[in-house]
Amino acid sequence: MFYSSRIPNRRSAPVKHTLCETNLGWVAIGIDRGAICAATLPGTKEAARKAVLEWDAEEPAAPAEARPLVDLIRRAAEGKPVSVNGHVRITTGTPFQRAVWKALLAIPRGATVSYADIARRVGRPGAARAVGQAVGSNPVPLLIPCHRVLASGGGLGGFGGGLKMKRALLRQEGVAA
């Protein structure tokens, strides 16, 4: 399973890649100038390799460049606190999508909000469905915590990696799901 087949606009250096195994499965990571610009949700190694091919990220990242980013992804997959400052570079998305992704970064570990809450936070009350679309196009799941967004009634809502994955991520952060 892979869900972030979009790769950012490559105006500068070519995107490099690496694969890493986490406690939840394999993740493909796209790296642009030393920061993560794309990632998949955990899945099979074959799915992670397929994402790299779709990204056209032929050059593997050097181990020294990839190591801290791999460690960051592994910690996030384990539900541990992470800081994305300086480690994530988003160069894709509409202004609305970027606003939603920024709002996702403000959701504390172990907390959840609704799609409607995010719509209000980005100044678009009533746009919960549009928020859902933006959440679903998150280029760096795990680090931009889209799994922390629930349906307004408190249900899990949707998730690109499936509800089993969403539950696992939330439980690792101490959320009863």
Catalytic center residues:
146
CA 163 centroid distance within chain = 15
Cβ burial, residue 73 (10 Å; 0-12/13-18/19+): buried
d(CA 143, CA 74): 10
DSSP 66-127: HHHHHHHHHHHHTT-----TTTB----S-HHHHHHHHHHHTSPTT--EEHHHHHHHTT-TT-
- Burial class of residue 159, CB neighbours in 10 A (0-12, 13-18, 19+): buried
